[in-house]
Amino acid sequence: MAEQTLRAWLLTDTPTSRRHAKLSALYQGWLAFRANTMAMIGLGILLALVLIAAAAPLLAPHDPYVQDLGNRLAPLGSEGHILGTDSLGRDILSRLIYGARITLYIVALVAMIAPIVGLLVGTVSGYVGGWVDIVLMRITDIFLAFPRLVLALAFVAALGAGIENAVIAISLTAWPPYARIARAETLTIRSSDYISAIKLQGAGGLRIITKHIWPLCVSSLIVRVTLDMAGIILAAAGLGFLGLGAQPPSPEWGAMISEGRRFILDHWWVATMPGLAIFTVSLAFNLLGDGLRDVLDPKAGE
């Protein structure tokens, strides 16, 4: 009964306060999202990943750094090592669990840097126009003209190998597409009547960009970032694989594949297990992105 009334309260057409209206809008978005089974699966996997990363010391059966050269390259299902051990006898499962922390760290940092830079550049460029637009967009073009991984390699080479530098390099190569999207959206929003209307209230450019244009750009950027996450994880893994990202003995998934590569014909699981982990998380982000697009995309909403 109480649940029924809560639901009715959330689904009302006549909210009674600001908070009520916000919660109601959120709940209706959640209902739309929940109806998408695949997106829910993606969300589930990612939540599991967060939990695993948070509880890594409790979940991992072994210390990910402890070597046991007597028990190296143990196969799947061997005693005490469900996913086997790597070339130095470290438990692969434990390394994967701890590796989730690194993956999340990379994802979170990139997701905080690239879209925000892109949003700033894109909306300012689109709204102000004129020579500001020309300068900002040509800079964007320059970044877009380089192959992404090559540019990241160049940055890492200049900044030095390491996970933070890898994140910076990936972010620097990832923002231009967001700037393009944000600019395109800004151009259509800028000429709409509701922007004209707020101009007639004497609102300045800063207020219009932050309060009126950003809320409309953010949703499509969130969708785009989620869909790009797979690529970002892969780029991070690629840098790790080339030895330019996380440094050994850190259990980064890409670096683990790189180590396992040497034994791939005789001991396939050493490279395959982290590969599967990357695959699963990338897929989860893609599924989530698809679902979010259905909920957030204002064009599909009407």
Partner 1 sequence: MSMLEIEGLNVWFGRDRDRVDAVKQASFNVGAGESFGLVGESGSGKSTILRAITGLAPTWSGRIAVGGMAIGRSRPKQFYKKVQMVFQDPYASLHPRHSVDAVLGETLHLHGFNDIDARVVKLLDDVGLGQKFRFRYPHQLSGGQRQRVAIARALAPEPELLLLDEPTSALDVSVQAEILNLLADLRQEHGLTYLMVSHDLSVVGHMCDRLAVMKDGEIVEIMDVAALRAMQATHPYSQHLLQASV
Size, binding site for partner 1 by CB under 8 A: 27
Structural tokens at position 266: 């005789």
Task: State the helix-helix crossing angle for 253-260 and 269-296, rounded to 10 degrees.
Answer: 150
Span near partner 1 by CB under 8 A; candidates 10-18, 171-179, 268-276, 286-294: 10-18
Site string for partner 1, 224-253 (x = CB under 8 A): ------------------------------
Nearest distance from residue 242's CB to partner 1, in Å? 43
Longest Cα–Cα distance of the chain, Å, equals: 77
Residue partners of 24: CB distance under 8 A and separation at least 6: 10, 11, 12, 15
CB 156 within 8 A of CB 166: yes
301 near partner 1, rule: CB under 8 A: yes
197 near partner 1, rule: CB under 8 A: yes
Nearest distance from residue 31's CB to partner 1, in Å? 15
16 near partner 1, rule: CB under 8 A: yes
Nearest distance from residue 129's CB to partner 1, in Å? 12
State how far the Cα of 110 lies from the Cα of 171, in Å rounded to an integer.
Answer: 5
Nearest distance from residue 203's CB to partner 1, in Å? 6
Nearest distance from residue 215's CB to partner 1, in Å? 5
300 near partner 1, rule: CB under 8 A: no
Span near partner 1 by CB under 8 A; candidates 43-51, 58-66, 131-139, 189-197: 189-197
Q: How open is the CA angle 142-143-148, to the nearest 5 degrees?
A: 135
CB of 5 or CB of 17, closer to partner 1: 17
Nearest distance from residue 154's CB to partner 1, in Å? 40
Q: Binding partner 1 by CB under 8 A: which of 11, 21, 112, 150?
A: 21
130 near partner 1, rule: CB under 8 A: no
Q: Return the sign of the alpha-carbon dihedral for residues 167, 168, 171, 173.
A: negative
Structural tokens at position 294: 């259905």
Q: How many CB atoms lie within 10 A of CB 124?
A: 21
HSE toward the beta carbon, residue 243, CA cutoff 13 A: 2
CB of 15 or CB of 249, closer to partner 1: 15
State how far the Cα of 223 lies from the Cα of 301, in Å rounded to an integer.
Answer: 14
State how far the Cα of 163 lies from the Cα of 237, in Å rounded to an integer.
Answer: 11
Nearest distance from residue 224's CB to partner 1, in Å? 18
DSSP H or E segment with residue 57: helix 56-59
Q: Return the sign of the alpha-carbon dihedral for residues 266, 246, 102, 104.
A: negative
State how far the Cα of 283 lies from the Cα of 230, in Å rounded to an integer.
Answer: 7
Q: Binding partner 1 by CB under 8 A: which of 69, 193, 265, 266?
A: 193
Site string for partner 1, 83-122 (x = CB under 8 A): ----------------------------------------
CB of 132 or CB of 157, closer to partner 1: 132
Binding site for partner 1 (CB under 8 A): 13-18, 20-21, 25, 192-194, 196-203, 211-212, 215-216, 298, 301-302
